Structure 1
């Protein structure tokens, strides 16, 4: 009995400690974005953004992105170019953290190659962002160019290739180069450095399917890290402790993966769960990718232990970013799960899904990676050759000095002969290299052309499927409407269906176009009006609608908000503007875009807005949605009450 009482009190004590620590953590973290907003100058906000230990623990990356865009818009209005560059550097970093590598790369390149020079710290951050973006986009040749640029600027001493070899699946080569380059630089008393070193070596062994050897290295890494954390003689900052916790979580996650590979599932489960919880707090893309890997290993372990409900729980987790290889593994695990529960139809779906992914990606990816590998090896060989040439020059200088002391004339003849031969060899080498490069360029051009055709085809297929899926959602809303008696619920469902149709039209126009980047707005608006009229069958057919958008084209990022805004405005006119008779009803829609500037105007001659419009603005979902969409276009909605009807207008860029 006494033992159970002690157990109860111990449990309550730890629950209290956990609650208290969580409360302290929350109170400490909630001020990071507030501190950012309260800072007086852009440079202060820049320092807070990049020096915070974990800026996303309380506020998401999307919250930060919205805030930074507001400040950026204000600086551009005031032509404050210095502040504008600082906010754009932060914006590039946030897009990188969100996994939107194409957007991040475009912003970073625009900043780096702009005529206005960046300060050294901003330049270092931008190069780091480009380095990470190209790694995730598998553009390893461009990643090497960035690293060489870092070396030229003094940001790093040398160019390392081991992480690129790892990304290409050459784990043995990556491990050997890492050991050769890093091991000599670590002092014997540097516990933290040794922990990172053994962690990296162990992970390369694990990826190379050497689980027992990897486990030994990873346990060494954990032991060194424990020594570092328990060393009270070394002062550690908050950032040092945070980085140490992330490293410990990474090591424990990799140890757990080795246990799964060896069939030791019970040992793996708690390590994987703890690793996931800690790595979730990291803003690094590599750590978030580890979260995905660890979750899939958790599902695999539970599946092997026949804990099917638990396995399905982890397989149903939604992630912001997941690689194609992680998606393939997830599909394989889902297929295995449905096989286990004898739902063979669903199992077949996931097996086929994997086959489609592999068929569509393998040939293109293999060709691209092969091309990247050729470039990398060529770069590395070029550097090695340069080192050999430099060494040979040094030896030749010594030989020349020695021979000069003996016989100056023989020495001069000999040196002339050497340089003649070197010159001839150089010309031959340059000629052969030129032929090889031309062949490589032709092959690369062919590969790129094939990839572009496949990309256009895939994009059209994606837009077609998105349109079909949105139509299915619209049909489901229609079915729900028929089974609903509440008038308010029916109206809400009809409004939702109308919004879904507005988005579906965008994707329909895209896959029907030859140009997948823009939408011709005149035809889209006409189709949208017809769609809205079909929803409001009792009204709207006698209203005269004038559309002035001929020749205006918008990209999908602007077309979707415009479609939803128009859907709301036209729906409101049909529902409320002409309550008694719409015989003389008129609607005018004007949309123009010249270069970077655009203008939108919507008017009707109905009964106008009620007196309590501002109060309704806070309660009406339609008005709130319109304002949110206009804000998304980085503009502000203007409303003019007229003697007859109402006018909505705004400028956009």
Structure 2
């Protein structure tokens, strides 16, 4: 078995070397072919390339393609100019320069000297939609969705490789179940056109498997990944070998991620080696190669093959300066730190942890800036649209003025018998205009509500991320602090922060942002506390009962801190010298107030227990937060400890 592993590894190295040579030759071949052609043939060459190739050579086309804009052969023909501008907008979109892409597409849309066909207008809308989606301008995406649907009803064809924009939108909003349902309906529609592009259905099933993996539905994820590979073998392996290699490499890399989640690292490693060998064919795809190499290093570390893990990470470190994506750099630093810690090189591990935290903090600041920048972009685009609208309104006013003069002349010539019909027509137009204005206002209100809902979800998501970051910093301080008393304080602070973070997590996963579903929240909180405080070999049974109770955030946060303190104390103190026990948590509504009861069958409180004399931070916190809830607190010992808190919901 060991010998077979060596042979397979050596074979992958050989394939990797051959792939690198092939990729270098192919790259030079494509660039030379582009430079050898005249102006419009360069545009045609770009259009014929598949999307993966365009992405692979995005830097090359981003550099050379704008130089064609002033060429006489393009400027001399409006049709050639529009075709070139469409291609240039795609170059900017693939490179991530969305503002330039949107400006070009808007200029095509507002060009009065060229009338777009339905298929051209469809391509324009889809390209705008992609750029808005990348900028997180979701209200614009929804607006274009309705325009695309109307155009499709008229019979306009839809670009195949834009089939999954709606499912991508749901995934970006963390609505993975909706993304899965949407993608399944998109795949059913794609099956009518699969003969036009045999790559698209296998790619769609890979996306579906990925969405299932995000919901931790491992079996369904494996099912659709395997279906993707089967369809690739049937439709691509012989006719499109390069596309087959790229897709199957990606799918196998995704399957390796799932095997890692199941701790099946020996199965994951061969799949990752295949993915890395295929990635190496595209010499410019440093990001994909680095991601697979980092995961391979993690697998070796889990198997305690630290030398192999370190060699793989050294390869990643060579690629790191060529990778612009900061998240991959954070992943590398964390993986390197974990490897060094496993090798007991604590000081070096701390330096890499520190790099990861600093870079992650920088990413969060960039995301916040991008969110603000997105709003500024939206304002700028709206200003441009308003200017165009004003110009169009001015033209309409002139046309209406001329029309009125003509109508006035006709009214003088025609008989008085037509006056009644004309007046009726005017009233009808006014009613239609009022109806149109009402419909437009209703649509604007719906879009505004949708956008606010998305922003609120984003706020809860960011608060949760920031609290998790603070929790991580406390955990890092705990690792590097030798004082046990300070470690306990840091651990307790981390648990309190975690209890608040779970509130915000529950809210951004919920459809109702005003109320926290408390039974689901309590089960997750208890799970986190058990993972932190339950000792090895001990079994503490926790039962939660809070049927259909939902509380607003002003009440939920102090209540969550109270429950965290009580349950934590039970785990730490109630079951000393015992291997098992039980904790029962009941939250119920009685008339216009709520009652929280927490009982355990532990050793109970001391007979002379008095929190005023105890001076415990935890119990002081419980008493203070109970007062904040306008509540009352009492306790007693009956075969353990029972704590009862009666409180009211805080409305403001």
Normalized against structure 2, the TM-score is what? 0.46
Q: Which structure would you say has the larger RCO, counting Cα contacts within 8 Å and 6 or more residues apart? A: 2
Normalized against structure 1, the TM-score is what? 0.46
